[in-house]
Amino acid sequence: MRTNLAPVFLILLSISLSSGSTYYVSPVGDDDWEGSYEHPWATPGYGSKNISGGDTLIILSGEYVMETFYDDMITPPSGSFGAPTVVIGQGTTKPRMLGRGSLFACVQIDGSDGCFIEIKNLELTSFIDTPYTGGCREGINAYSDSGYAVHDLKFEDITIQRVEEMGMDIGGDAENVLIKRCDIFRTGYTCIGGPGAYGDGWVNVVIDSCYLGYAGHFYHGVDTVAWVWDRPDGVGFEESEGPVEIRYTISEHQMGDGLDSKSKRTYIHHCIVANNYADGVKLWGDSSFVENTLVYGTGGAYTDTTPWCLFVIDTDDPDAYFEITNCTFWDSPLRPPHYAATIQYDFFTNPITLVMKNCIFQAQKQILCQPVVNFQASNNLFFINDTLQITANGTEYYIADISALGTDNIYGNPHFVDPQWGTEGDFHLEESSPAIDGGVSVAGLTDDLDFYPRPYAGVFDIGCYEWHETTVIFEKSEATDDAELFVYYDEISSNIVLHTNESGKFEIFDIKGRLCVEGDVVFSKARVNFSSMSSGVYFVRFVLPDNTAVLKKVAVLK
């Protein structure tokens, strides 16, 4: 699965080649002007309707109130391959689009018009007036009628917060879509989703390095749980052909599911799915994989009895195949007991295959696999608070006979560092954990959720984190032809050293996109002391004088 996905998604990252003219919008502009830098337009909606396909519209820092349907909304014309239409925010802060009067969406893209559109570096939110007039319904709406698909779209570095309905409403049919480094939170409904499709649904869609949080926690202009929508998800969309990849993403505190994919060929990896009210990860489509992912806190600290699980597979695809590898699942003992996972609970007559390797399950009640599931388990650690650990292949497996489930499956306390319910927990392994050195080698698996290399000391661990003895800094780079950026750990000074072949500026962000450190690279070097920073994943961005950038991921493990 990993090798098959990579070439597909590289296409998404290379569609930008050139563009046409450049125009500007500013809070001190005038729509009667020509839209130049010296004489910018005043309103983003007007600007988007007065550029041509392949042009770039730069929206300068400031606040823009948007109220009138269509006229005030950003509605860019389609570009073409190699010449996309670009709408991008620029300045000291992200430009803020504030929808009011129950505005349909801040940004609307019409798939029947051709697409090839990029939207970057904007904040989309509601105008909270008194009395409240309805704010903004959706941040971005990209939708096509029957016979068309929105396609070749990039959404990067966008913040969407406090909208009454969906953050990004994509599809039902969508092809070649990249959603990268977007923060979507405090939505009335689902953070990223879409309606049912006329055709193949989502095809070649990547959700990369996003923060998705608190879906269902905003209603009528107030940060509150109103239970208006049925289970708002972090990601939730309908039947699709795929592939869909969700990577390096946090989905937490939703009033629905964390990640709910009805697509075939779904690949979820390096994700944290935490403290969601309903199911954690839910898969519906054939040939789907989950890897290096942490799922915990079902119920979101609500103590009512619910039927939601950490992990669910329910598919009507005949003879479908699923695989979960090096994942960690934890259910709080404070939650009323429910199944840790259910496999084919509803589609109990449809046979599938599930392969599970190197996974940890700690919960209050068993994993339930219907007899039609061909369950192949190896090197997993179970710690269910009951003698019955799992029902699989028509057999009940108890603590005493868990080793008979497959190859090298074991029972025992995983000894997590600091498991928590309803707040952020630490599910790294303590040195006493039986998960250490209990895993099996997996082809193509070279790192863990922290990007720490696997295996440590020659043997794989069970779970999403690889245990290690000492403080380690490990970097993983994205390819670039513009500059070299080496990141390494200097043990003498306890500093991270950034060493480049250019001069420029650097910025370091945490995994939620918050700026931690910034500075200059002088004489091709910069030193950063991480002693006050907690363990986790950070992103080092080196900006060259021509405004191109090199990005590296750094794991700080203490």
pLDDT: which is higher, 298 or 544: 298
| Per-residue pLDDT at 556 | 65
| Mode of pairing for the β-strands spanning 495-500 and 485-490 | antiparallel
Q: Is the dihedral of CA 336, 342, 347, 349 positive or negative?
A: negative
Which tokens hold the place of 111?
A: 């798939």
pLDDT in tens, 451-476: 888 998 889 999 999 998 754 444 44
Least confident of 204-208, 351-355, 400-404, 443-447: 443-447
**505: number of Cβ within 10 Å:** 15
pLDDT: which is higher, 22 or 226: 22
| Per-residue pLDDT at 471 | 46
| Mode of pairing for the β-strands spanning 63-66 and 266-269 | unpaired
| Per-residue pLDDT at 479 | 38
Which tokens hold the place of 538?
A: 């950070």
Whether the predicted pLDDT of 126 surpasses 50: yes
Whether the predicted pLDDT of 238 surpasses 70: yes
| Per-residue pLDDT at 480 | 43
Distance of CA 190 to the CA centre of its chain: 13
Cβ within 8 Å of residue 131, ≥6 positions away:
none
In percent, the amount of the chain with pLDDT more than 90 equals: 74
pLDDT in tens, 1-46: 333 333 333 334 444 555 699 999 999 999 999 999 999 999 999 9
DSSP label at 47? H
Residue range 362-367: mean pLDDT, rounded: 97
Residue 468, phi then psi, degrees to nearest 5? -150, 160
Whether the predicted pLDDT of 273 surpasses 70: yes
Least confident of 326-330, 423-427, 531-535: 531-535
| Per-residue pLDDT at 474 | 42
Residue range 186-191: mean pLDDT, rounded: 98
Whether the predicted pLDDT of 489 surpasses 90: no
Please tell me the distance from the alpha carbon of residue 419 to that of residue 147, in angstroms, as a whole number.
Answer: 48
Residue 493, phi then psi, degrees to nearest 5? -95, -5
Provide the H-helix boundaries in 15-84. Answer: 44-49
Least confident of 153-157, 310-314, 517-521: 517-521
| Per-residue pLDDT at 505 | 75
Burial class (CB in 10 A: 0-12, 13-18, 19+), 152: buried
Q: What is the mean pLDDT of the chain?
A: 88
Whether the predicted pLDDT of 482 surpasses 60: no
Please tell me the distance from the alpha carbon of residue 138 to that of residue 151, in angstroms, as a whole number.
Answer: 19
Selection from 150, 147, 137, 113 nearest residue 187 by Cα: 137
Q: Is the dihedral of CA 543, 546, 550, 551 positive or negative?
A: positive
Q: How far is CA 117 from CA 102, 124, 270, in A?
A: 25, 17, 28
The CB-side HSE value for 416 (13 A sphere, CA atoms) comes to 21
Partners of 66 in the β-ladder: 99
| Mode of pairing for the β-strands spanning 311-313 and 339-343 | parallel
pLDDT: which is higher, 212 or 524: 212
Burial class (CB in 10 A: 0-12, 13-18, 19+), 235: buried
Q: For the CA atoms of 313, 314, 320, 322, what is the dihedral angle to 10 degrees?
A: -10
Q: How many helices (H) and strands (E) does the chain have?
A: 2, 48
Cα–Cα–Cα angle for 230, 224, 100, rounded to 5 degrees: 90
pLDDT in tens, 93-114: 999 999 999 999 999 998 877 8
What 3-state class would DSSP assign to 438? coil
The shares of helix, strand and coil residues in the chain, as percent rounded to the nearest 5, are: 5, 45, 50
The answer to whether 65 touches 127, Cβ cutoff 8 Å, is yes
Phi-psi region of 133 (alpha: psi -120 to 50; beta: other; left: phi over 0): alpha
Phi-psi region of 511 (alpha: psi -120 to 50; beta: other; left: phi over 0): alpha
Whether the predicted pLDDT of 53 surpasses 50: yes
CATH of domain 472-557: 2.60.40.3080
Distance of CA 105 to the CA centre of its chain: 22
Whether the predicted pLDDT of 296 surpasses 60: yes
pLDDT: which is higher, 19 or 361: 361
pLDDT: which is higher, 229 or 279: 279
Whether the predicted pLDDT of 540 surpasses 80: no
Whether the predicted pLDDT of 555 surpasses 80: no
Which tokens hold the place of 288?
A: 């789907």
Least confident of 70-74, 82-86, 481-485: 481-485
Whether the predicted pLDDT of 490 surpasses 60: no
The answer to whether 218 touches 224, Cβ cutoff 8 Å, is yes
What 3-state class would DSSP assign to 7? helix
Residue range 117-145: mean pLDDT, rounded: 95
Distance of CA 229 to the CA centre of its chain: 22
| Per-residue pLDDT at 500 | 64
Cα–Cα–Cα angle for 410, 414, 417, rounded to 5 degrees: 170
Phi-psi region of 536 (alpha: psi -120 to 50; beta: other; left: phi over 0): left
Instruction: Tell me the whole-structure pTM to 2 decimals.
Output: 0.85
Selection from 234, 109, 227 nearest residue 167 by Cα: 234
| Per-residue pLDDT at 517 | 78
What 3-state class would DSSP assign to 225? coil
Residue 401, phi then psi, degrees to nearest 5? -125, 25
Residue whose pair of structure tokens reads 């290379």 in the numeric block: 14
Please tell me the distance from the alpha carbon of residue 24 to that of residue 118, in angstroms, as a whole number.
Answer: 16
Most confident of 66-70, 195-199, 549-553: 66-70
Largest CA distance in the chain: 79
Q: How far is CA 295 from CA 5, 201, 274, 390, 425, in A?
A: 23, 26, 6, 18, 11
Q: Where are the domains of the chain?
A: 472-557
Amino acid at 231: R
